[in-house]
Structure 1
Amino acid sequence: MDFYYWPGSAPCMTVQMVAQDIGVKLNMKFTSLRAGDHLKPEFLKMNPQHTVPTLNDNGFFLSESHAVIEYLYPVMFWGAKQFDPVKLKELETAYEFLNTFLEGQQWVAGTSMTIADYAILTSVGTADAVGFNIKKYPNVDAWFKRAKTAVKSYEENYRQHVMVFKNQYDDATGKK
């Protein structure tokens, strides 16, 4: 996988750390923003928004750090034939924290929806797609339903992106 990055980018660094921690080898492609590498026609074909990070996995392009992380993470995270017990415990701990955090709150960061809700929505949607029991966390479950309704483009994007991750998980686990 080719990973187009600029060292000064925090989102690029986040993707690099996740990839390294889960053992995914990225073919690092330095992208000089100062030299305009991100504005060249070949880069714009991969990412019309001309931003880094950008991932090219044999012609499948992703260009937002959270989406790239979700793409890299699900099969490694969930394990080969079942939920990896160590990673599952980490996920449960994160959901317990989020459930407590959402106690008495409609949204993650205040009284109205923010970009934090968008970012978390993709992660919760992916976990839900591969069968993680969100209903075990009533505040998260209620927030998830609310957020899916509030984000008008959720269903369309869910079909286009999150289902890719579910299909990867299904392929890795032999489900179908």
Structure 2
Amino acid sequence: MPMDLYYLPGSAPCRAVLLTARALNLNLNLKLVDMHHSDHLKPEFLKMNPQHTVPTLVDDGFPIAESRAIMAYLVNKYSKGNTLYPEEPKARALVDMRLDFDIGTLYQRFADYFYPQVFYGASADKEKLAKVEDALNLLDTFLEGQKYVAGPNLTLADLSIIAGVSSFEASDIDFKKYANVKRWYETVKATAPGYQEANEKGLDLFKALVDRVLKK
């Protein structure tokens, strides 16, 4: 049976899971969650995921929340040994470090800076922007002499980070001024399986949402 993925197409974490599924050639039964009508707060959704967040994956009755946990689960169950999430301890630790950097620093700082502007009408905060730029400097440093963020091969870390960094295109953040980040960005766009279908379509929807909200 195909797995159910409860998602929003514009969401960067959801797009990261879609990228992973495409890279593993897995079929997901996509279930749109309409947050404007509080689908995520309905009792049946809260039973699956008390955090009421997307993405949420349900595999044979087993629910999993948090995009990076979902991505790792898909490799561990359906493609064990795949270089997307290597089994060698040091190689996996590097992927895990980059995933933790993404959730705790890079994407988190972007969300802290940009989402209040989009969803709550806040003004741009220069101090928060500086923190985003500091995170991009770190990413640029990690990529020095590296094709991908965790070494020579495409990994889950690249898929998670590019889903978030591509969302920067909807903001005033010029991440392409960082030479290593720009090179890596173009490389992943060209080499991640199904990139256009799994990420760019949702990214276009996110950009359209931002345009509508910020032009009001």
Shorter chain as denominator, the TM-score bin is: 0.5 to 0.7
Q: 1:93 to 1:77 in 2, by over 3 A?
A: farther
* Deviation (angstroms), 1:120: 0.5
Higher relative contact order structure (alpha carbons within 8 Å, sequence separation ≥ 6): 2
RMSD across aligned positions (CA): 3.7
- 1:30 is paired with a residue whose SS is helix
Deviations 1:32-71 (A, max 9, x none): 8xxxxxxxxxxxxx967564339xxxxxxxxx699xx89x
Q: 1:94 to 1:129 in 2, by over 3 A?
A: same
| Other-structure match for 2:204 | 163
Q: Does 1:53 align with 2:53?
A: no
Q: Give the structure with the higher percent helix.
A: 2
Structure 2 unmatched runs, 5+: 1-5, 7-12, 14-39, 50-55, 72-98, 100-106
Deviations 1:86-135 (A, max 9, x none): 33212111101000111111111111111111110101111124342122
| Other-structure match for 2:115 | 75
Provide the rounded CA distance (Å) in 2 between the counterparts of 1:135 and 1:159: 17
Provide the rounded CA distance (Å) in 2 between the counterparts of 1:114 and 1:30: 32
* Deviation (angstroms), 1:138: 0.5
- 1:52 is paired with a residue whose SS is strand
| Other-structure match for 1:144 | 185
Instruction: Please say if residues 107 and 113 of structure 1, whose CA atoms lie closer than 8 Å, have aligned partners that are also in contact.
Output: yes
Instruction: Please say if residues 149 and 158 of structure 2, whose CA atoms lie closer than 8 Å, have aligned partners that are also in contact.
Output: yes
Provide the rounded CA distance (Å) in 1 between the counterparts of 2:125 and 2:156: 29
Give the AA of the match of 1:110.
G
- 2:145 is paired with a residue whose SS is coil
* Deviation (angstroms), 1:161: 1.4
Provide the rounded CA distance (Å) in 1 between the counterparts of 2:186 and 2:157: 16
Q: TM-score, normalised by structure 2?
A: 0.48
Instruction: Please say if residues 121 and 144 of structure 1, whose CA atoms lie closer than 8 Å, have aligned partners that are also in contact.
Output: yes
Instruction: Please say if residues 103 and 139 of structure 1, whose CA atoms lie closer than 8 Å, have aligned partners that are also in contact.
Output: yes
User: Number of aligned pairs?
Assistant: 127
| Superposition misfits of 4+ residues, deviation over 6 angstroms | none
* Deviation (angstroms), 1:149: 0.3
| Other-structure match for 2:46 | 29
Aligned-pair identity (%): 29
* Deviation (angstroms), 1:30: 3.3
